[in-house]
Amino acid sequence: MQLTGRHDVDQGWLKDVRNVVENATAPLIVPRFMFHGWLLEDYQHLFAEQTLINQLIALLVRECVYVLPPRHQTAHAHAHAHAPPHT
């Protein structure tokens, strides 16, 4: 699986939103994901294979962690290390 579009992230907007309120907790922003050009058969194939589902979950989580501010990335890594495994 491949995820593209990181080059389209408006870093200035992200910084502005995160800095809108001084001395307050900045909002967490998660990326929008689009399955551009997918057909019904593509979704059926994806959701019929647990391995593909797990790969998609890992890919989306990595992307969400990538856009987190650094102080939240450490907290996520700590929480993920103690989370039960996915079944």
- The predicted model scores a pTM of 0.62
Indicate whether 87 belongs to any domain. Answer: no
- Quote the percentage of the chain above a pLDDT of 90: 25
> pLDDT tens across 32-73, in order?
888 889 999 999 999 999 999 999 999 999 888 877 766 665
CB under 8 A, 24+ apart: contacts of 20-27 = 26/69
Domain that holds residue 11: 6-81
Residue 86 is assigned to a structural domain of this protein = no
Tell me the mean pLDDT in the region 25-30: 75
Answer whether residue 1 is part of any domain: no
How many domains would you assign to the chain?
A: 1
The secondary structure of the chain as a DSSP string is: -----GGG--HHHHHHHHTSSTTSPPPP-------TT--HHHHHHHHH-HHHHHHHHHHHHHHHHHHS-HHHHHHHHHHHHTSPPP-
Residue-level pLDDT at 87: 44
- Within a domain: 25: yes
- Please give the mean pLDDT across all residues of the chain: 78
Residue 77 is predicted with a pLDDT of 57
20 occurs within a structural domain: yes
